[in-house]
Chain A
């Protein structure tokens, strides 16, 4: 697992070290160990969004879920507006399962459209994107707060907890027969079919997992902003996909993993933090994201060609 991580996300790892060193040098207060809880909480929604985007991309054949961002926003709105403020529920034992259920349901709807009805994933999830943005704005026309205390703590001292949960979950998936089938389907779905892999079912489950991980990301977002805001969620979609690509996950499927996606997300977060330390405008920040992304994908391709030549 470590070996394949280095192979796939090699460039993203180097970038991570460089950016981390830069940040430590320029911004020691922000990166002081005492501030790590807050820092991780700040990066968590993006890491979660990238991790959530990964399973469907791994499943291959144009698998992608662009509704991850709006789903985060939708979960954010449901948890605060419907559960916490209207119904007065603050118990994590209700909020957590409810959020996961919403995520799984949206993921299942995406999965049904993409794998059973065979609508192109980008079109199917674009539909979900628009629907979720609309529904979120309907139930929550303007930002509102606050959030339950335990949830806000998830962005502070114990911010590592939800992220750790995601990675323990993925590590467990890694140990099951399903993981092999997912990577096989992503690698070559026709070969997987002739090898007896239930291709449609495997892809469908990938969409459900993406939905559930997006719900966790939505909770981390809620924890961070400590309120509900209908406009924040959708902004995560594209940057999460950029993070996934940066982390060495092939958009053609079958290559990479959640750890790579997370490293890509941390890279983007550190870059943002570094450039903000220089007081660079957010417009320039966008340019930097794009440049880094294209450079990373190109370098990964070069690295791949070199290692293929070495193997031949």
Chain B
């Protein structure tokens, strides 16, 4: 079933006068974004999330109600796109809140029983993700700041997954995360893709993209400089494209 709930990028220009990007991401695919810092890959990811307006073109997603344009962040969330931000401390966690509250904030309405929150229901939802992501937390009521960086990131991932998205956009998800946790996360990402979720992962580590992604888009000067997949996807080739040299 090609294009079942595919994610379409049409004539997207990240800045005025830059070459347009045309791309379709299918369910079950893991697409990596690489490039030197500030060469447009982060803008691209945020545009997909509806957080930034493109200079031209549009992003759309197939939903049950037909093809919907992703215009704005709220619309993106409503049409099944979840975004995991890069800077955990600045735009991810709520330091004064508990693990449970940090997990539930994107989906607070789902615990409501006749308008009132049911803590039992919230804990039940959290337990599912705690097990799946093997989150190590003293208790759901503990402050999020008592967790290690890797576990904070897992809680944020659980928050995004609780939305049951069709497309998961990850902005450098393993930055500042220990090696053991990284491998847990890789397994989770592969599992999600196998279930039919489309994943777009921006990573500052090329090795990570190589082990995880089916395809990679290499960005240079706000354009896609190269697209690689399969055997063509090597460290040397990605680095060469990042620096604008022929491999």
Chain A residues within CB distance 8 Å of chain B: 172, 175-177, 179-181, 183-184, 186-188, 190-198, 250, 254-255, 308, 311
B115 on interface, CB distance cutoff 8 Å:
yes
Given A188-B91, A194-B83: A177 touches B97 (CB 8 Å cut-off): no
Taken together as a complex, chains A and B put the C-alpha atoms of A183 and B93 apart, in Å, by 12
A183 and B94 form a contact (CB under 8 A): yes
A177 and B94 form a contact (CB under 8 A): no
Which residues of B, 127-146, contact A by the 8 Å Cβ criterion? Answer: 143, 145-146
B90 and A311 form a contact (CB under 8 A): no
Given A176-B115, A181-B105: A194 touches B97 (CB 8 Å cut-off): no
B117 and A188 form a contact (CB under 8 A): no
B29 on interface, CB distance cutoff 8 Å:
no
Chain B residues within CB distance 8 Å of chain A: 51, 73-74, 77, 83, 85, 90-97, 101, 104-106, 108-109, 111-112, 115-117, 143, 145-146, 159, 163
With a CB–CB cut-off of 8 A, which chain A residues contact B105?
180-181, 184, 192, 195-197
Taken together as a complex, chains A and B put the C-alpha atoms of A183 and B143 apart, in Å, by 13
Per DSSP, are chain A's interface residues mostly helix, strand or loop, or mixed?
helix
> How distant is B194 from chain A, measured CB to nearest CB, in Å?
26
Taken together as a complex, chains A and B put the C-alpha atoms of A104 and B246 apart, in Å, by 65
With a CB–CB cut-off of 8 A, which chain B residues contact A198?
74
> How distant is B121 from chain A, measured CB to nearest CB, in Å?
12
With a CB–CB cut-off of 8 A, which chain B residues contact A175?
116-117
Given A176-B116, A180-B117, A311-B146: A194 touches B108 (CB 8 Å cut-off): no
With a CB–CB cut-off of 8 A, which chain B residues contact A187?
94-97
Known: A180-B101, A180-B105. 15 other contacts (CB 8 A): A172-B116, A176-B117, A177-B108, A177-B111, A180-B117, A183-B97, A184-B97, A184-B105, A187-B94, A187-B96, A192-B105, A194-B85, A194-B91, A195-B105, A196-B73
A191 and B92 form a contact (CB under 8 A): yes
Given A190-B91, A194-B83: A180 touches B96 (CB 8 Å cut-off): no
A190 and B96 form a contact (CB under 8 A): no
With a CB–CB cut-off of 8 A, which chain B residues contact A250?
96
> How distant is B164 from chain A, measured CB to nearest CB, in Å?
13
A195 and B159 form a contact (CB under 8 A): yes
Taken together as a complex, chains A and B put the C-alpha atoms of A65 and B96 apart, in Å, by 22
A191 and B93 form a contact (CB under 8 A): yes
> How distant is B130 from chain A, measured CB to nearest CB, in Å?
18
Give 14 A-B contacts (CB < 8 Å), ordered by A residue: A176-B112, A176-B116, A179-B117, A180-B101, A183-B96, A191-B85, A193-B73, A194-B91, A195-B105, A195-B106, A196-B163, A197-B105, A250-B96, A254-B97
Best-buried of B95, B96, B101, B143 by chain A (most CB within 10 Å): B96
Taken together as a complex, chains A and B put the C-alpha atoms of A66 and B149 apart, in Å, by 39
A192 and B117 form a contact (CB under 8 A): no
Taken together as a complex, chains A and B put the C-alpha atoms of A192 and B159 apart, in Å, by 12
With a CB–CB cut-off of 8 A, which chain A residues contact B117?
175-177, 179-180
Taken together as a complex, chains A and B put the C-alpha atoms of A254 and B93 apart, in Å, by 13
> How distant is A181 from chain B, measured CB to nearest CB, in Å?
6
Taken together as a complex, chains A and B put the C-alpha atoms of A198 and B77 apart, in Å, by 12
Best-buried of A172, A180, A308 by chain B (most CB within 10 Å): A180
With a CB–CB cut-off of 8 A, which chain A residues contact B159?
195
Nearest residue (CB) in A for B119 is A175
Nearest residue (CB) in A for B84 is A194
A188 and B93 form a contact (CB under 8 A): yes
Taken together as a complex, chains A and B put the C-alpha atoms of A190 and B117 apart, in Å, by 24
> How distant is A83 from chain B, measured CB to nearest CB, in Å?
32
With a CB–CB cut-off of 8 A, which chain B residues contact A177?
108-109, 111-112, 117
Nearest residue (CB) in B for A255 is B96
Q: Which 6 pairs from chain A and chain B are nearest by CB?
A: A177-B108, A187-B94, A175-B116, A187-B96, A254-B96, A195-B106
